[in-house]
Structure 1
């Protein structure tokens, strides 16, 4: 149970940071196949599915609520070692992922999804340079519908390995607003400010409902793809994952670069690799 909560926290942290993929972390820790199965078979295998989904989603939720400020601080003040740590997490996942295609010969048909999805991640990193202005989330029917739609889009990209849900929020102009709203919600709860709680709930509720619906919709699609072309799908995922560290380093603020920071980055990279080796793999 504790390991699953910790795995969920890693996924949650990944979804906070633009350029880092929560789906990649799921694959890295041997969770991806089981999570997709549990989501798509929730009704028919409710008890077994909830044993996996509850601690994972609880851990992810805890990480997003409790650590969003911490990672805002780390990215603002120590972007190089922080991003190197996530590169280490991703790189440390590769041995587990390569096992999925071991024994299958390389072919042009398998390399096509590899290069397509490798390119998608790099393209998203390039486009993500412009995060857009803060979104208008004042209470209105149109904004509620927009938040619901953004939640669906964000959820879909959060589940797909190699694609960053938080980067998608940046492209849509909602990243800063959602992070600030989560922090406002925590402050309101601590102060027990009912007026503020209701205000931020009006923002987070439609967004959250959209996320839930988006996760279930994309999980069904992914399960279908894996049934029809599992090895080709994994080649696509490998392309996504190999491109992810490149995308993260492209998004890193290098203005503070120094040899001591680079040395610290190497240490955090190794730490990330170590964590991936401990949290990864099948149980």
Structure 2
């Protein structure tokens, strides 16, 4: 197991650090500029129930990146726009005779080249929506990994396998494409569900079985268009007109309905 320090206190840092600790890795430091969130995460990591392997080393919070230099791995779980800046800061550390930690980021949209000023790098991208408020079964989370060196790639594989997850070795371009695809199946779908909530409340929970079956069925066939249903697909103008009448006064919902119906009708 590895000594893994994490720079970041957001959703990815939160979920990933808890899972890594539960897998038996040491998390010596949580580092970041948000002191309140960082110290809260440290308290969670030091709870006995989050340490099933009885890892002896406790976790501490710091905002001094020099404290992380004795780690085996440093994970930058931060927003894309600060990855390169942080990499440059870590590149200023003098390691002397010590082994250089593997510096990795977790972004799907940022190239590994953002870390090029540092000598030993990698990418560990979890292809999953992560949030502090809801745990995720990491055995179901695929990771896209990348490293310039065989040693770095082995470490990334070790991390993923310790979580019980699967991985795919990918280039930065391939990872960016998958990140784009993920926006469609996650962010856009969630937005549409929000519109559906507005229309159906207080009965929105009745839509859950339909939403689950729709996604499940879409992945069973060669392409989701094969199983596309609904009034736009079958050219049911009468039903579409009724729906549009219900959406009077809801300009955003009506705009999306008309746009998507037009696109679906052309499939």
TM-score bin (small chain): under 0.3
- Whichever structure has more helix as a proportion of its residues is 1
Question: Structure 2 length as normaliser, TM-score?
Answer: 0.25
| Structure possessing the higher relative contact order (Cα contacts under 8 Å, 6 or more residues apart) | 1
Larger-gyration structure (1/2): 2
